[in-house]
């Protein structure tokens, strides 16, 4: 058994938001190593490839000098991935009004699959608790960059803006 405390923070991160980054920063203070795990899910239609999402996470955590955080890709059951990495905790960022029922159901299923992997729920701080990647996509398509500054890490605003422009052009 490793004495290093490892946690996994899984998600789609399409794109990473300041809400995600808030959870990453806080969780990185609780564990020796935090692995931000970008899920590859064929059932979703993300704006960015999994590799692009990993790179955006790396840029965002580098800007904040979070040296114990790494980003990686994974497929399959998250709880099994966490177990393979030796993580005893999965961090889940939740929005209090929208995410809790589904997250509690998922937590109970994960406990049945891997009883020694715990789930830790964290809510993003105040003004970030409502932020979602879906909201960001709507704002990116309709608003100027100044609006994005309130929701996205600086290193990825240009990439999100370019992707929003591409999608708008393709709709025409």
Q: Out of 3, 29, 44, 45, pick the active-site residue.
A: 44
**95 an active-site residue?**
yes
Helices and strands: H and E segment counts in the chain: 7, 5
Q: Out of 64, 95, 137, 161, pick the active-site residue.
A: 95
**5 an active-site residue?**
no
Q: Out of 28, 33, 53, 133, pick the active-site residue.
A: 133
**29 an active-site residue?**
no
**20 an active-site residue?**
yes
Burial call 111-143: b when 16+ CB within 10 Å, e when fewer: eeebeebbbebbbbeeebeebebeebbebbeee
> Residue 160 to residues 48, 112, 144: CA-CA distances in angstroms?
9, 38, 12
Residue 91 gets the label, from left (phi > 0), alpha (psi -120 to 50) or beta, of beta
Q: Catalytic residue numbers?
A: 20, 44, 95, 133
């Amino acid at each position: 058994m490793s004495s290093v405390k490892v946690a996994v923070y899984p998600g789609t991160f399409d794109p990473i938001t300041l809400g995600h980054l808030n959870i990453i920063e806080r969780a990185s203070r609780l564990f020796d190593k935090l692995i931000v795990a970008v899920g590859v899910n064929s059932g979703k239609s993300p704006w960015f490839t999994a590799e692009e999402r990993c790179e955006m996470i790396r840029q965002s955590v580098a800007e904040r000098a979070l040296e114990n955080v790494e980003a990686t890709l994974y497929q399959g059951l998250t709880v099994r991935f966490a177990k393979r990495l030796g993580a005893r905790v999965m961090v889940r960022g939740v929005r209090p009004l929208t995410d809790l029922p589904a997250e509690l159901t998922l937590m109970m299923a994960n406990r049945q699959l891997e009883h020694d992997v715990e789930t830790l729920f964290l809510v993003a701080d105040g003004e970030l608790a409502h932020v979602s990647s879906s909201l960001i996509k709507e704002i990116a398509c309709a608003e100027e960059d100044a609006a994005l500054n309130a929701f996205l890490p600086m290193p990825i605003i240009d990439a999100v803006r370019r992707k929003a422009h591409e999608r708008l052009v393709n709709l025409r």
